[in-house]
Amino acid sequence: MAEPNRAHLDEAAVLRSVAGAADDGAPELDRLIHERVRLGIVSALAVNQSLAFNELKTMLALTDGNLSVHARKLEEAGYVVCTKSFEGRTPRTEFRLTDSGRTALTAYLNHMEALIQAVRDR
C-alpha cells in the first residue's frame, strides 16, 4: 500500500485542528467564537467600549432574534455582559466585552494566525 505523502499529512493535521479534533495536544478552536455572528459580535465589542442592541444589530445586519440568540450564548459563556436600562421610557440594552471575552478573542485570533501561517509554510 502506498504511503501518503508528507504534504497530505500536514494538511490533514491542519484540518483536524480547524475542526477541533487535534489529538496532538494543540489547543482546540473556540467554537463559540468561531461562528460568524458571534465572531462579529465579539470583534465589534473589542473595538468599542460598549454597543447598544440596535447599534450591533445594524452594524452586523442581523434580525432582533438572531442577535438575541447569539448574544445570549456569549453572555452565558461569560464573554459578554448585557446591561438593561431605560432612557426615559425607552428600554436600552447595551453589551460590553468582558475580560474573559477579550482573552478568548485574543486566543482565537492567535490560533487562526497560527493556522494561516502553517498553511502558508506548507
Higher pLDDT, 6 or 90: 90
The domains of the chain are located at 28-121
Higher pLDDT, 11 or 99: 99
Q: What fold does the segment set 28-121 form as a domain?
A: Arc Repressor Mutant, subunit A (1.10.10)
Nearest to residue 74, comparing CAs of 12, 32, 31? Answer: 32
The Cα 96–Cα 16 span in angstroms is 32
Nearest to residue 102, comparing CAs of 62, 73, 74, 69? Answer: 74
pLDDT of 3: 46
pLDDT in tens, 6-56: 444 454 555 555 544 444 555 688 999 999 999 999 999 999 999 999 999
Q: Where are the alpha helices (DSSP H) in the chain?
A: 6-18, 31-34, 36-46, 53-60, 64-76, 99-121
